Copies of this chain bind each other. A is one copy, B any other.
Amino acid sequence: MKSEIISVGTELLLGEIVDTNAAYLSQRMAEIGVDVHQRQTVGDNLQRLTAAIETALGRADVVILIGGLGPTDDDLTREAISAATGRPLVRVPASEQRLREFFAARNRVVAESNLKQCDVPSGGHHLENVCGTAPGVFVEHEGKLIFALPGPPPEFREMLQRSVLPMLRERLGPANVLYSRSLLLTEIGESQVADMLGDLISAQTDPTIAMYASPALVRVRLATKAADQAEADRKFAPLEAHIRQVLGAHVLGADDETMPVVVGKLLRERGATLAVAESCTGGLIASRITDVAGASDYFMTGVVAYANETKQRLLRVNESTLRDHGAVSEACAREMAQGVRKLSGTTYGLATTGIAGPGGGTPEKPVGLVYVAVADDNGTVVIEQTWPSTREQFKARVSEMALALLRKRLLGAV
């Protein structure tokens, strides 16, 4: 089954918004095994939008439009489907009643413009919108399926999940549904993974294996068509076991097990607690840890010690350390980790100190230099790294590096 996506809206062509809906829809289509062979982006222009739908109907089995279903004159998706299929727009009484009730409940008057949202190309029907006023549109035309969904992401996603995906899954039949499982890797580069898994990746046909790299993370994705999740899991299991054996502790977790989730799980399992002292990461490590619900079970204290005085007064870093080695030094990182641990009475203390830039670098201590330390009952480990990059990238990388160090300490690897 081949599909085509048409994103509608002049704001997209002006670059005012990034088209995350199209990427989200593409992912969902890939997951259920529907091939997205092309995408188009068209402004709020009836003639071009109609032509885009005609083109898509000529080469795809399923056409999904996103946006252009609102009440204003600029919203032309219903009209364009009508023009492209030759099906006149007809009013749906049930939709009109629902809209009138919606407005009455809010003491608002229904304008004539609002009512056009109650129209549908003849032979089609509406898809319920539980988050907004614009219903979606479904038309089956000469054996092709046409869907139109509203553009606001919460409405779009809800309607996709509730109405569109179940219809497509049903038409595809269960054996054609694609399942996937991603393994998230840490402290290893894309080329190293390619070296270690290269033969496996090129020889493997079902499940397929693909590798994706982002600045923070390499991901290995297994995908297979199966009747249900249990069958997919049975197909993934031996392959996942093999990859985990080859890559060892580089495998951070699966699917949504990111670094803060994995570290939180390890801390909770061990009944351990954590305090963090941050200089160059400026609170980002604490913020990422507390993005995980339930973090209060193990995360006690964060100290953002930007000023040297804060390092001394709160974290008890020695004045002589700052004088002799500077704030960006192995000794300072060590004392920060130990200091925040003692201050909070936690199992672990984690610390960062470095030069984020763009200012503050010297020939001996360049922009990008960073020390990360973890302290516990058994002692303190400090690592040094140099990562010249933008300020935000630096903070992101160092926060990941610090959590990776803590993970290794929790696993007994350092």
Contact = CB atoms under 8 A, between A and B. Distances in A.
Interface string A160-175: 0000000000000000
A37 interface: yes
A59 to B, nearest CB: 9
Given A282-B287, A301-B314, A303-B304, A27 B14 contact: yes
A284 B282 contact: no
Size category, A interface = 35 or more
B300 A303 contact: no
Nearest to A304: B302
Given A286-B283, A303-B303, A15 B23 contact: yes
A114 interface: no
A368 B285 CA distance: 23
A26 B13 CA distance: 6
B48 A43 contact: no
A24 B14 CA distance: 9
Contact of A296 (B18, B52, B278, B306): B306
Interface in A299-318: 299-307, 309-310, 313-314
A23 B27 contact: no
A39 interface: yes
Interface in A338-357: 343-345, 356-357
A323 to B, nearest CB: 18
A407 to B, nearest CB: 19
A331 interface: no
A359 interface: yes
Contacts of A28: 15
A358 interface: yes
A103 interface: no
B304 A282 contact: no
A302 B314 contact: no
Interface in A279-295: 281-287, 289-291, 293-295
A25 interface: yes
A334 interface: no
A74 interface: no
A301 B306 contact: yes
A258 interface: no
A86 to B, nearest CB: 23
A199 interface: no
Interface in A389-405: 391-392, 395
Contacts of A102: none
20 contacts: A13-B38, A14-B27, A15-B23, A15-B30, A15-B36, A16-B212, A38-B40, A39-B41, A281-B290, A282-B295, A282-B302, A283-B285, A286-B287, A293-B357, A296-B306, A300-B307, A300-B310, A303-B304, A304-B304, A314-B343
Given A40-B40, A278-B286, A291-B395, 17 more contacts: A14-B27, A15-B27, A19-B19, A19-B23, A38-B40, A38-B41, A281-B290, A282-B286, A283-B290, A283-B304, A286-B286, A286-B304, A290-B395, A293-B359, A299-B307, A300-B307, A309-B345
Interface of A: 11-20, 22-30, 36-43, 45, 48, 52, 212, 276, 278, 281-287, 289-291, 293-296, 299-307, 309-310, 313-314, 343-345, 356-359, 391-392, 395
